[in-house]
Amino acid sequence: MLIAKNVYLHFADQALDGMSAILRTLGDELANKRPDLPGANSPYAIVTHCLGVLNFWAGGLVAGREVVRDREAEFTASGPVEELVSRVEAAKLQFHEDVTTADPSAPLRKEPHPAYQDTPAGLTQGGALQHVYEELAQHHGQLEVTRDLLTANG
């Protein structure tokens, strides 16, 4: 890993904490609403997808845990904000453990899905963790824009 694990986790935590703050600002109604754009996702769905990413990539491929993921269901998820924020906090704790035990230069502990076998993220544990951060940063920004769209007229 090119940066210390604690520094990596600091940046990942910032993205996850920012997502939780946005959810709390929006509240249950707006967090479960989709902006009026083709293919847009609700804030709740975006964060649920990020938890799926953490579990699949860090939990399954890096830590080697058995992971069952319904990626499509992540994008239709809805529910109370505080429940999701609690899930984010639990996922952060597990993610810290997964990163702490990771060997960035080692191969993945599980075979990736065939769609990911030829990607750089699929080659090493460090590559998978970099992909996790990529997804967290990307979706944190998406969530900020989504929040702005949902609150622009209210």
pLDDT digits (tens, 9 = 90+) for 67-84: 999 999 999 999 999 999
Q: Are 52 and 69 in contact (CB under 8 A)?
A: yes
Q: Any residues with CB less than 8 A from the CB of 101 and at least 6 apart, and which?
A: 63
Per-residue pLDDT for 154 more than 70? no
Q: What's the mean pLDDT when you consider all of the chain?
A: 93
Maximum Cα–Cα distance across the chain: 50
pLDDT digits (tens, 9 = 90+) for 80-130: 999 999 999 999 999 999 999 999 999 999 987 777 666 665 589 999 999
Return the pLDDT at 53. Answer: 96
Return the pLDDT at 82. Answer: 98
Among 48, 8, 52, 55, smallest CA distance to 32 is for 48
Q: Show the tokens assigned to 69.
A: 């993921």
CB atoms < 10 A from the CB of 70, how many?
A: 10
Tell me the mean pLDDT in the region 137-148. 98
80 compared with 153, residue with greater pLDDT: 80
**pTM surpassing 0.75?**
yes
Among 49, 41, 56, smallest CA distance to 111 is for 56
Q: Show the tokens assigned to 94.
A: 């597990």
Return the pLDDT at 99. Answer: 97
Q: Are 26 and 43 in contact (CB under 8 A)?
A: yes
Q: Show the tokens assigned to 22.
A: 């946005």
